[in-house]
Amino acid sequence: MEQRQEVLEEMALLRERTPDVTGSVACTVDGLQIACDLDEETGEKAAALSAALIAMSRRMLAMTSRGSFEETIIAGTAGFVAFYAAGPTIVLTVLARPGTNVGLLRLEGRKTAAALAAVAKRKN
């Protein structure tokens, strides 16, 4: 099975386990989209911005000696956007509704990110 399909399957499982998730994008740390369950234009833009946010987050952690990047969560008036490191080469971005159980989002987001890291490792 190709990497894109395996990643999409993991993203579908995330939606099943976390009903408030409304979409997700997996991309490389360079911003190249791997898989997306959003419309294509939004997915491409989200991938590019995700890579930039992860790079900035990693630099902040390094500068302040706070360890390796795990996640960044942005809360907005219309919901959440969460970013997860999925190994050293993949970023998982997850969109969620307002009122989302953030603890569940963090737990399931990290679980999905670990699964994506395993997919990437098998494919390399």
Mean pLDDT of 104-124: 93
Span 36-73, pLDDT tens digits: 999 889 999 999 999 999 999 999 999 999 999 999 99
Give the closest residue to 108 by CA, choosing from 8, 13, 9.
13
Residue length, the chain? Answer: 124
Domains and CATH numbers, the chain: 3-123 (3.30.450.30)
Does the pTM of the predicted model rise above 0.75?
Answer: yes
Residue 5 amino acid letter:
Q
Q: Using CA atoms, how far apart are residues 103 and 49, in angstroms rounded to an integer?
A: 24
Contacts of 54 (CB under 8 A, 6+ apart): 29, 69, 72, 83, 85, 91
